[in-house]
Structure 1
Amino acid sequence: MEKSTNTPALVSDQKAFHNAFWVMVRKEIAGHIRSWRFIVLLILILLTYWGAMLVSMSNLKSIVAASKDPGELFLYLKLLTSTAGSLPPFHVFLSFLGPLVGISLGFDAINSEKQNGTLNRIMAQPIYRDNLLLSKFTSVLILIGILLFSLTLLMIGTGTILTGVFIEVEEVLRIFAHTAISICYIGFWLALAILFSILFRQPATSALTAIGIWLFFTVFYEIILNLAVKAMIPQSGSQTEILKIYDHIFTLMRLAPSQLYTDATTTLLVPSVRSLGPVTMDQMAGALPTLLPFKDSLMIVWPQVSGLIAATVVCFAFAYYKFMRREIRS
């Protein structure tokens, strides 16, 4: 009898805590939307998006003329990948803007609450401690997801109105898969920024640390590997030895999140990409020069997607561990 009487109370408590979590998520979303930080980031993303789209739209005639098979034109994929040399494509822009968005919206997630004295007040309410951390992470992902999916639908609608060409199912799958990977990519930098907001007391310190890591993997990491390649390649080495060295270099390059994102998005948005590493002439023998279906492209990039998701989970799990063990009243 005691078990049956306690069960309804336990269920009601779980519903109350579940409702409290979504209340906190809505509060965080409202706070981000009203902040100047998010407005500036939104304007920056919109400007780069429209700049890349205008350049792609201006090259539509040359894209159609250069296509050998009109049945495999994939016009909407060309809108995301083609460029005239003045501006890079939007997915290249996003590989630089994505980390800035995630870091900007997460570097002061916890330490600013503690400095303002609101963390003690929030924890005094009847909510779980982890709900605060989860709401910080979930609210930003929801915002970024809505923004990127809205831009994707806007691109499809604008392309349909201007060209009159209906989008194919293959293109829809590839474009939305690219959007989902972009959300995972931004989620990694968001989780890393939230981790630093827990480890460091000052928001400026956490922001500079996250930006420093981003700059290292974006700029200096590739330079260091290129210098290592020049030092490791023998002057009179065989093709097999040189390929092994390049294979190790490509493996080390994929430790950078930006490289994982670039490999995944390039393979999904360019169906002609069949490999992400060095390929010998023997391996290319017998390969047909056709476009890969979406399933095969997804299988190629699945290690990169898994790496991004795993890195995000590790960063957030470590942030969760540190936050749950930290004394917030001191």
Structure 2
Amino acid sequence: MTMPWTDLPCYLNGHLGRLGDAKVPVMDRGFLFGDGVYEAIPVYGRRLFRVEAHLDRLSHSLRSLRIEDPYEREAWLDLFHSLVAHLPEVEDQTIYLQVTRGVAPRDHAMPRDIEPTVLAYTQPLVAISAEKRHQGLACVTARDFRWQRGDIKSTSLLGNVLARQMSADQGADETLLIRDGFLTEGSASNVWVVRDGALLTPPPGELLLEGVRVGLLREFCEELGIACNLRPIAETELTTADEILLTSASKEIAAVTRLDHEPVGHGALRGKPGPVYSKLYEAYQRAKLLQGR
């Protein structure tokens, strides 16, 4: 289904309408400072996927910015289900949710007693094409020059925008960020390395966002008997990896087959999606059918 983005169902501060009609005051601190947080929640078969984990992360981000959560959990769920129902012909969707501190005179200090701005809309889910999934993604590496609270899913994403553009300028799909010689994450994804059959990813901390799919892949690894370790990953381990994977709400799980214009992996699988990726991707597809609410 294709439709203009302006016609997508949109919720703004208690009112449900068209996304193209939604407007916020120019003094909203989300507009002035990027003073807000967001989530993107996938919907498969009209069922919310891992929504509890997304709402847990939303709560963490709001607490970190000292923004009071405007709704109880059941109210969030009611809102999401209402949005999904307003795209009746679309089975797979993505709900975008954004909460800003609200509207106030411009001042860097956090104002008291203002009402948060709540925006949510849904759109058809845009998946990686079958051809792209078969051939794998191309990535480049770059210095991680962003601020040091990557654990907050903030709307202040200029650093991520600049990082992603570095790969776009080279015809690549994602930028993998390196800080002080160690991997942090991608511009819009978590990054995993496979070495000797084991799956590795950097541990959670303030320098990176712990994606909802981190916990999910750890569950898959336990089910499949794949060793999974959260530990620092040196930049040199990327260039010698057996496989490199990306996870995010939009990418689900994807194989990286080229890094800095060189093939990833070894032997017959060099430059091709590997066996650990294949097992985890299949597990992800099974989970989409079994989970959701």
Same fold (TM over 0.5): no
Q: Which has the higher contact order (CA 8 A, sep 6+)?
A: 1
Normalised TM-score (structure 1): 0.26
TM-score (norm 2): 0.29
* The structure with more strand, counted as a fraction of residues: 2
Name the structure where helix makes up a greater proportion of residues: 1
The structure with more radius of gyration: 1
